[in-house]
Structure 1
Amino acid sequence: MIKPIWRWLAGLFVAGCLALPAAAGDFPQIELSAGFYRIEAEVAFNQPMRMQGLMQRQSMATNHGMLFVFPQRARHCMWMKSTLLPLSVAFLDDEGRVLNIEDMEPQTESNHCAAQPARFALEMNRGWFAGRGISPGARIAGVERSPRPQ
């Protein structure tokens, strides 16, 4: 009688671990570019990763960010619950063209949404896009090499 219970508990533990969001460093990385600016982006391509995002991060290097890959084009929204860093998010179409850029305050639940249906969102330290003259219509190259969304 004890063996089936332990197997069941072990199976429950493994299933629970598989459902946990990715921790910092568990995300695949991809190199993107905006004009001549290079970006090292972690990629959130499945739902647990998209839910975790940059939550609880204390800092992020200057040219680093996170690319969110969505399974369908939609007017996706982002929020900053449990996110400690001030960020800017650029919503991108299928080809990586910037649709709009929103600045986001840490630890808030305000929605920041794509102005049009987007396939990607790229979060960078707040002001990164503005400081480099990147605005709607600019192209972020390399998104086509991101993992397929799940």
Structure 2
Amino acid sequence: MMSVNVRMVDITGKAESERLAVAEGKIRLRRETIEKIRRGEVPKGDVLAVAKTAAIMAVKKTWEIIPLCHPIPITFVDVNFDVMEEELRVRVEVKTTAKTGVEMEALTGASVALLTVWDMVKSLEKDQEGQYPYTEINSIRVVEKVKRQL
């Protein structure tokens, strides 16, 4: 029988420090969909406003979604979008003063923002068979991590 060892990392003895993480990701969309986002013509509403709100909510709830993440105080979240011809890029910056970093929170925020965009535009992205041959979420990654001692 195989033994399974799962536990949170013990951060009890660590000192608090200022921490920042920035994550980004992209979603490829049809040009027509991008134009509807720009013009505010998506049937479900303001795609970027909803995706930004979803990202912030996800950052704050990361510890409830990822089993071994510590609950930490989130002191700042910023979500920005870059809308290009055939893709939308999200960048999520998260800050805390804590014993552990905020990389997972930034990654979760970026992921949920992109999933929210997909959900809001899926009716525009489907082909005649109801598939998504063009739509793709990719390149979700941490682009910056900073730790400063207090």
TM-score range, shorter chain: under 0.3
TM-score (norm 2): 0.26
Choose between structure 1 and 2: higher helix proportion: 2
TM-score (norm 1): 0.26
Choose between structure 1 and 2: higher strand proportion: 1
- Higher relative CO (Cα under 8 Å, sequence separation at least 6) belongs to 2
